[in-house]
Amino acid sequence: MSKKPAKKAATKAVKTCSFGRAWVGKCGQPSTTANRCKDHRGLKCSSCGRAATSECGETQGPFVCGAPLCDRCEHALAPNGTNSGSKHIRKGAQKYKSWWNQNDDEKLQGKYLMLKRDLSGYDRVAALVGGEKGQEYLSARAEQRRRIAAELTLLEMEHPVLVGLSEEA
Ligand SMILES: [Zn+2]
Ligand SMILES: [Zn+2]
Ligand SMILES: [Zn+2]
């Protein structure tokens, strides 16, 4: 008879981490406190700061977002209705519709706002880098920035209603 001997430790159930890994399911590593392993203990939701229960499973190309989230929050849609960007938001509080659900006006606004987002992205990086290096970063990308700005101007000329539209509004 080659029956496996009953595990002695059966009475002392091993607790495992219940944190939801993106595209994987429950983490399952041994947990010490509050059903969390050492990797997932104390993680805060990147949207609201409550205790995180899972990773964001939105994919951007080959990458998974992976930001820690609580049950009430989700990845924020960008103005063009894609999951571009790394913002997270309360469920039910999405500012923009999914791309497949946008009407022509919303698509136009989305295009305009995404261009603005791209343009301000350069300034944000430059500000982060700071000083002379920041200026170098901007001048190295003068051509791209000029092209985006020209596209914005063109859109504003064709659709004056867009002028002044911003993501903050
Ligand atoms: Zn874990
Ligand atoms: Zn949250
Ligand atoms: Zn996300």
Q: What is the pLDDT of residue 169?
A: 63
Closest ligand, as measured to the CA of 45: 2
Q: Which amino acid is at 74?
A: E
What are the percentages of helix, strand and coil residues in the chain, rounded to 5? 35, 15, 50
How far apart are the CA of 11 and the centre of ligand 1, in A? 23
Average pLDDT over residues 43-57: 97
CA 85, 132, 86: angle at the middle one, nearest 5?
10
Closest ligand, as measured to the CA of 31: 1
Q: What is the pLDDT of residue 3?
A: 56
How far apart are the CA of 51 and the centre of ligand 1, in A? 13
pLDDT surpassing 70 at residue 1: no
pLDDT surpassing 60 at residue 10: no
CB atoms within 10 A of CB 152: 18
How far apart are the CA of 7 and the centre of ligand 1, in A? 24
Residues of the chain with pLDDT > 90, as a percent, come to 86
Closest ligand, as measured to the CA of 38: 1
DSSP sequence for 100-131: GG--HHHHHHHHHHHHHHHHHHHHHHHHHH-H
